[in-house]
Amino acid sequence: MAIPFDQREGEIWLDGVFVPWADAKVHILTHALHYASSVFEGERAYGGEIFECEAHTDRLFASADALGFAIPYSKDTINEAKRATLARMGLTDAYLRPVAWRGSEMMGVSAQLNTIHVAIAAWAWPSYFDPALLEKGIRLDIASWQRPDPKTAPCHAKAAGLYMICTLSKHAAEAKGYTDALMMDYRGHVAEATGANVFFIKDGKIHTPVADCFLNGITRRTVMALAAKRGIEVIERTILPDELGTFSECFVTGTAAEVTPVGEIGPHHYTPGEMTRALMQDYADKVRPAGAAMRDVA
């Protein structure tokens, strides 16, 4: 059994200083626990370098702004703290989790006077999905929960509260033997997986939903640029559920997921092909130091 995250060894950067991992605690009446006033990032380091470090920090600050609070450190300080955390943990290939949240001074919907706290943790996390599943592609259920209307939630923030329906959807999918779930948006259009953006391939072109009510992921943008470099057309458009059976390949992208092929979405089947595997390799080549081996995808 994996070691629980509150019982691991090492140190966490918390409000400007490193503290022992087990001592990185918040009070039970922390506002973020009750009202989801928290934002976070998921980042990967390869060979000691944090991929798109500055872009992730920019998004962390933008997310905090969307939730109406200011991070009490400069972006440069956060970037240096992330690198210091990686070094302090003795890690070169790792996952990093910066998180910012409202503290405990006020307990109620209004929390104007609450201190804003920031923490950064890093740990080894080789693959988000079981590598044994990647040859045929992971299996996705179709979620019953939908991504919200931008008028009802700060949908472009990486905010904790937006992931409640992701957890519900993923748990429901896993209970039925799937790996993850594909979510529709509030209009019933194809949106994304619970923690990754989705792409489809048809007739040599890539199709992906317009990111107008969910995160335009950093990995998403990276893969789109890699496809363009290969001369592959990427079409951002509305994708309807009825179209799911018309595509030949499918893959998802994200910091944790990287580029992961999909073999099934509900009743629809796909075969990971040359284009998907080429983009998997291109992404691996981009993020990993020269000469490092790509994870086993065959």
Which pair of tokens denotes residue 222? 């990276």
Length of the chain: 298
Give percent above pLDDT 90 in the chain. 91
Structure-token match 């996390």, residue found: 125
**Cα–Cα distance for residue pair 244/265, rounded to 1 Å:** 8
Catalytic residue check, 158: yes
Q: Does the predicted model carry a pTM greater than 0.85?
A: yes
The Cβ-side half-sphere exposure at 238, using a 13 Å CA radius, reads 7
Q: What is the H or E stretch that residue 285 is in?
A: helix 274-287
Task: Supply 181's token pair.
Answer: 């779930």
What confidence tens digit (pLDDT) does each residue in 166-207 have?
Answer: 999 999 999 999 999 999 999 999 999 999 999 999 999 999
Q: Which residue in 186, 211, 187 sits closest to 197, CA to CA? A: 211
Write down the catalytic residue from 158, 176, 205, 286.
158
pLDDT in tens, 48-84: 999 999 999 999 999 999 999 999 999 999 999 999 9
Query: What's the whole-number average pLDDT of the chain?
Result: 94
Least confident piece of the model among 60-69, 237-246, 258-267, 281-290: 281-290
pLDDT tens digits along 113-148: 999 999 999 999 877 677 777 789 999 999 999 999
At what angle are helices 53-66 and 218-229 packed, to 10 degrees? 140
Domains and CATH numbers, the chain: 11-123 (3.30.470.10), 131-287 (3.20.10.10)
Q: Nearest CA to 178 among 133, 219, 119?
A: 133
Q: How far apart are the first and last CA of the chain?
A: 27
pLDDT at 291 over 80: no
